[in-house]
Amino acid sequence: AFRLAAANVASLLGTHLRSLALDASQGHGCPDQAIWAKHAEFDEANDLHLTSGESVAAWAATAAGPALREVDIADFWPQSCWRKAEALPVISHFCHNLLKLALKNAWLSVDGLEIMPNLTHLTLEFIRLDDEDLSKLNECFPCLQILNLIGVGGLENPKIHLSQVKTFRWEVSNAPWSLAIHAPNLVHLELKCVEPEILILDTPSVSTLKLTIDELGPTVQVDGLASLKNLRIESSDLKSLLQLFASDREIRTLDLELPVSVNCVDLYHEVKPDYLVQLFSRITEVKLSPRFSCVLMSLLCLCTNHESAGRLEKLLVHLPASHITACPFVPLLSVSAPSCEVTVLFHADTSDAVRQAAASVWPPFVRGLPRFPEITWRWGTWQ
């Protein structure tokens, strides 16, 4: 009934239909939660298998197909996980003027996929894709400007070759041996992966990089990051990543986070607090995300004196729930610019007494220290 209703709507509206969204997911999982296949509890029916060639053709082959500009389909994973679907080739055949396409919860074939020169936005989420190196994706979607590959499995040594893409979010669901991105006009890149043996970023226009990675592999080529200004790193391999991406670059904004498993001893052995303070002194805006900030606060007392003024104009810190009222991040303030804005976020479990003491004591205490800049204080809460 669901599939028939979509076909009827497409037939009824015909060339007036510009956008089509179908969602049969009902919260039922994705390839990373393939419990149905493991326990043989997948659904043998096909009434909600929305990415099958038959289901897609039912609406795409109508007069609505060429008129559509946006298509968004979320399949029912218990029915789609074990069936290879032809949604991509069917859509590419009938929907010539499509601008935006999003497909979720499916096993997708690329056999017969045709070039879609008008498509500028593509999102594949929780997809098993039969395109091991992404060669068909590169060939058939040459004009993509925004690409999201979130939890896309079935890849082996994938390579992105897209000359027009500007924004790319890639969350790699498995652990391919190598990852390569060749994108001369890419500006914003979010990459989440495990530990590829080879990582190639040929992206000379990237200004914002958000990287979540377990560890760097032995072969990394990132010469093409001449425009990098905004950097976020979440990893336990911080020293290698900071030396690679931040040490010799004019980074304006730096945001650091740690995996849940990392504690203060791990961080100290990985990167010394003095190194971090020196690094922060060359950056305009530093954001210490919750886990990294809370761990770092316990290590800053080990810093030696840093008396030279730095470039730091904005600092964001997350403080753990604590009864300590002394300011734990004074070493970071010592490398601030002459005028600096400091945002302090207390954990929601922090008592009002501790908050009030900090707000009343820290500003005059810092003002009384020699060589300290003028600081604007902002206060808030994090959960």
Domain spans of the chain?
2-305
Residue 337 near residue 329, CB atoms below 8 Å: no
Report d(CA 104, CA 36) in Å as an integer: 17
Whether the pLDDT of residue 65 is over 80: the answer is yes
Phi, psi of 169 (to 5 degrees): -115, 120
Question: Quick one: tokens of 234?
Answer: 């979440």
- Among 220, 218, 224, residue whose Cα is nearest residue 200: 220
Query: How many CB atoms within 10 Å of residue 19?
Result: 11
Residue type, 222: V
**What is this structure's pTM?**
0.92
Average pLDDT, the chain: 91
90-94, 172-176, 283-287: which range is least confident on average? 172-176
Average pLDDT rounded to a whole number, residues 181-187 = 97
Q: Give the CA distances from residue 297 to residues 72, 273, 288, 289, in Å, rounded to whole numbers and listed in that order.
A: 45, 10, 10, 12
Helix, strand, coil: what percent of the chain each, to 5?
30, 30, 40
- Among 127, 133, 134, residue whose Cα is nearest residue 156: 133
Q: Where are the alpha helices (DSSP H) in the chain?
A: 2-13, 35-38, 53-60, 64-67, 77-80, 87-94, 135-140, 238-245, 264-270, 273-280, 290-297, 330-333, 352-367
Report d(CA 127, CA 191) in Å as an integer: 17
- Among 308, 191, 310, 315, residue whose Cα is nearest residue 253: 315
Q: Which of 30-44, 139-153, 320-334 has the highest mean pLDDT?
A: 139-153
Whether the pLDDT of residue 38 is over 60: the answer is no
